[in-house]
Amino acid sequence: MAKARKDNKGRALRKGESQRKSDNMYIYVYVDPFGKRRYKYSMDLIKLREIEKSLIKDQLDGLDVYAAGKADLNFVFDRYISTKTDLRRTTYTNYTYMYDRFVRPEFGKKKIGTIKYSDVLYFYLHLINEKHLQINTLEIIHTVLHPTFQLAVRDEIIRNNPSAGVMAEIKKKPGKNHGVRHALTVEQQRAFMNYMANNPVFCKWTPLFTVLLGTGCRIGEVIGLRWEDIDMEKRLIDVNHSVTYYARKTDTRKCEFAVSLPKTEAGIRVIPMMDAVYEAFREEYEYQQENGFNVIELDGMTGFIFSNRFGNLHNPQSINRTIRRISESYNAEEVLKAKKERRQPVIIPHFSCHHLRHTFCTRFCENETNIKVIQAVMGHANIETTMDIYAEVTDMKKTEAIEKLSHKLDVF
pLDDT (tens, 9 = 90+) of the chain, 412 residues, equals: 456 688 898 898 988 899 998 899 999 988 765 567 888 899 999 999 998 887 776 665 555 566 656 789 998 999 899 888 878 777 888 888 899 999 999 999 999 989 999 999 999 999 999 988 888 889 999 999 999 999 999 988 888 999 999 998 988 765 544 445 578 999 999 999 999 999 999 999 999 999 999 999 999 999 999 999 999 999 999 999 999 887 655 555 577 888 888 767 888 999 999 999 999 999 999 999 998 898 899 989 999 999 998 889 999 999 999 999 999 999 999 999 999 999 999 999 999 998 999 999 999 998 888 999 999 999 988 888 888 888 878 777 777 777 777 776 655 5
How far is residue 154 CA from its own chain's centroid?
26
CATH domain 186-403 topology? hpI Integrase; Chain A (1.10.443)
Strand 236-239 relative to strand 255-260: parallel, antiparallel, unpaired? unpaired
What pLDDT is attached to residue 280? 96
Four-point Cα dihedral 10, 16, 18, 23, nearest 10? -140
Structural contact between residues 193 and 206, judged by C-beta atoms closer than 8 angstroms: yes
71, burial (CB in 10 Å: exposed 0-12, middle 13-18, buried 19+): buried
Q: What are residue 96's phi and psi, to 5 degrees?
A: -70, -35
> Three-class SS of residue 360?
helix
Structural contact between residues 130 and 173, judged by C-beta atoms closer than 8 angstroms: no
What pLDDT is attached to residue 176? 47
What pLDDT is attached to residue 58? 61
127: DSSP letter? H
Return the CATH number of the domain spanning residue range 73-172: 1.10.150.130
Q: Which CB contacts under 8 angstroms, 24+ apart, belong to 184-189? A: 184/348, 184/349, 184/351, 184/355, 184/356, 184/359, 186/363, 187/346, 188/346, 188/347, 188/348, 188/349, 189/213, 189/359, 189/363
**Where are the extended beta strands (E) located within 252-400?**
255-260, 269-272
